[in-house]
């Protein structure tokens, strides 16, 4: 009888320990170590006969390799994130919060690819076949020739895929529900997830089928399971969204066959997920152009320029420690911008609550939004609305200078296409390229603050702030009429 061996494995990184402990020394996670039972080999490793290796042929870096053909499903936003379509023999991992629409998107992609004459198999380990059929009927895709199965054993799934015609795409929903006979542990553990993923990777490389794995996520939005699975697959996609918005963002975090940080925008409707070919127009559709504290940021998501609205609210605080609430941006980045405005521009926000929001549920990851955030904060503080036809982008340094950002011509072209007349950008941001719209260059945040404060409305004496709540002297001085050299005039 085989000897049973017990080990303690971290469910986040896969580190193995001889006994349980509260913290994993490899990844730093708390309460992630769980006990797993494995079946040891009946023959000790010292008594196994070593097999001589086989020499493999070495190739050179020269030579031409034919471009891998793509499986284009016809859903433009999904094909865009995948790099122009799915590559045969690749394996993808898609993660997202429960109920965000992962299964809906994959059912639509499977039906679209089956409609183009490819054999597609959808294997569900969480739902019965009847439940998948009900979703397909609700989406109007019941007539699609998609093979369905409800199975969790990896060996049975591979045996099923080996019968019949060649499979073009396989969807596994989800990888945490699979288990293999070669590992004696519960489904969802590190050992089972790693073993089943390795079996599917080997199948994809040998047969040329595209395999899509659905992965669960943790509380902080990271894909659950060992990180080694993310290294094994060819692409990792994250399906993001907010329950309060109907928009869904498919973001590529890793892609060996296409650009990373690419996004696809979808809208959740009663008939499923519909594409949003122009996200900028959608995110700016309900913009209030006359309110202070709003600025339009021209950002880049992968290779696509996206314009979005940044909203800021600065209000006097009655608390000893003012609040800093951020939605859709990095809180540490906001703290840095506030510190630069205080130290370099004289904008005292230490006694004010600051609320920052990226409209539409989108999340910004690039530092080019510093200039737009600073403009929205100063606009809310002074009560001066920003011009409705202005866009902003630029990175702020700790010295108060505004630094150039990449792909400025693409940002300006997108702003011109949507009808914006002027862009406030760093100095030299369009060197060597012709600007698509009018450009107002600023060299420091102090210039930006002076230009915005000059437009602030003059308040009568009875409406002035009580003692202790006066606006900063720098802003009062900047409210004087703008001179001819005002960069934002």
Per-residue model confidence (pLDDT) at position 365: 86
76-276 CATH, one of 3.40.50.2300, 2.60.40.10, 3.40.50.300, 3.30.1330.10? 3.40.50.300
Express each pLDDT in 17-36 by its tens digit: 888 999 988 888 888 888 87
**Span 432-445, mean pLDDT?**
82
- CA–CA distance, 10 with 33 (Å, rounded to integer): 4
Q: Does residue 462 carry a pLDDT above 60?
A: no
Task: Indicate the DSSP class of residue 361.
Answer: G
Spans of all domains in the chain: 4-41, 76-276, 282-457+471-478
- Give per-residue burial for 79-101: e unless 16+ CB within 10 Å, then b: bbbbbebbbbbbbbbbbbbeebb
Share of the chain above pLDDT 70, in %: 86
Q: Does residue 464 carry a pLDDT above 50?
A: no
**Span 299-322, mean pLDDT?**
90
Express each pLDDT in 318-355 by its tens digit: 888 899 999 999 999 999 999 999 999 999 898 999 99
Q: How confident is the model at residue 85 (pLDDT cuts 50, 70, 90)?
A: very high
Per-residue model confidence (pLDDT) at position 32: 82
Q: How confident is the model at residue 489 (pLDDT cuts 50, 70, 90)?
A: very low
Per-residue model confidence (pLDDT) at position 320: 85
Per-residue model confidence (pLDDT) at position 487: 37
Q: Taking Cα atoms as reference points, which of 431, 372, 422, 364 lies closest to residue 396?
A: 372
Place of tokens 């060649």: 166
Q: Does residue 282 carry a pLDDT above 90?
A: no
| 282-457+471-478 placed in CATH 3.40.50.300 | no
Express each pLDDT in 358-391 by its tens digit: 987 788 889 999 999 999 999 999 999 999 999 9
Per-residue model confidence (pLDDT) at position 483: 44
Per-residue model confidence (pLDDT) at position 212: 96
Per-residue model confidence (pLDDT) at position 319: 86
- CA–CA distance, 455 with 379 (Å, rounded to integer): 9
Per-residue model confidence (pLDDT) at position 216: 83
- CA–CA distance, 184 with 186 (Å, rounded to integer): 7
Average pLDDT, the chain: 85
pTM, 2 dp: 0.76
């Amino acid at each position: 009888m085989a000897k049973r061996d017990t080990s303690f494995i971290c469910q986040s990184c896969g580190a193995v320990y001889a006994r349980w402990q509260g913290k994993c020394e490899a990844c730093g996670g708390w309460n992630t170590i769980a006990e797993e039972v494995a079946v040891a080999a009946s023959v000790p490793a010292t008594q196994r006969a070593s097999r001589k290796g086989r020499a493999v042929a070495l190739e050179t870096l020269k030579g031409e390799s034919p471009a891998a053909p793509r499986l284009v499903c016809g859903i433009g936003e999904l094909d865009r994130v995948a790099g122009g379509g799915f590559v045969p023999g690749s394996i993808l991992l898609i993660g997202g919060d429960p109920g965000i629409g992962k299964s809906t998107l994959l059912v639509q992609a499977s039906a679209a690819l089956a409609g183009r004459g490819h054999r597609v198999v959808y294997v569900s380990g969480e739902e019965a076949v009847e439940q998948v059929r009900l979703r397909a009927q609700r989406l109007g895709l019941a007539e699609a020739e998609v093979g369905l199965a409800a199975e969790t054993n990896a060996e049975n799934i591979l045996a099923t895929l080996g019968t019949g015609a060649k499979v073009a795409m396989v969807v596994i929903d989800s990888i945490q529900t699979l288990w293999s006979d070669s590992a004696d542990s519960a489904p969802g553990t590190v050992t089972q997830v790693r073993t089943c993923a390795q079996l599917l990777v080997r199948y994809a490389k040998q047969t040329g089928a595209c395999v899509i794995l659905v992965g669960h996520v943790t509380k902080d939005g990271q894909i659950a399971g060992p990180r080694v699975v993310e290294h094994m697959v060819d692409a990792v996609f994250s399906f993001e969204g907010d329950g309060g918005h109907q928009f869904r963002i498919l973001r590529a975090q890793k892609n060996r066959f296409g650009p990373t940080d690419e996004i696809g925008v979808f809208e959740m409707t009663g008939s499923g997920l519909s594409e949003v070919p122009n996200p900028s127009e959608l995110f700016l559709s309900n913009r209030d152009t006359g309110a202070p504290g709003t600025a339009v940021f021209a950002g880049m998501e992968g290779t696509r320029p996206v314009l979005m609205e940044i909203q800021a609210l600065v209000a006097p605080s009655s608390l000893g420690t003012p609040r800093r609430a951020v939605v859709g941006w990095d809180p540490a980045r906001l703290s840095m911008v506030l510190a630069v405005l205080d130290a370099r521009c004289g904008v005292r926000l230490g006694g004010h609550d600051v609320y920052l929001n990226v409209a539409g549920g989108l999340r910004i990851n690039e530092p080019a939004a510093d200039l737009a955030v600073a403009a929205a904060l100063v606009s809310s503080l002074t009560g001066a609305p920003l011009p409705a036809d202005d866009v902003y982008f630029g990175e702020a340094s700790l010295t108060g200078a505004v630094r150039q950002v990449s792909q400025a011509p693409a940002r300006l072209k997108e702003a011109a296409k949507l009808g914006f007349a002027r862009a406030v950008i760093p100095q030299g941001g369009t060197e060597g390229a012709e600007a698509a719209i009018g450009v107002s260059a600023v060299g420091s945040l102090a210039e930006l603050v002076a230009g915005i404060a000059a437009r602030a409305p003059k308040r009568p004496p009875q409406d002035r702030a009580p003692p202790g709540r006066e606006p900063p002297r720098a802003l009062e001085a900047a409210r004087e009429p703008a001179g001819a050299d005002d960069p934002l005039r």
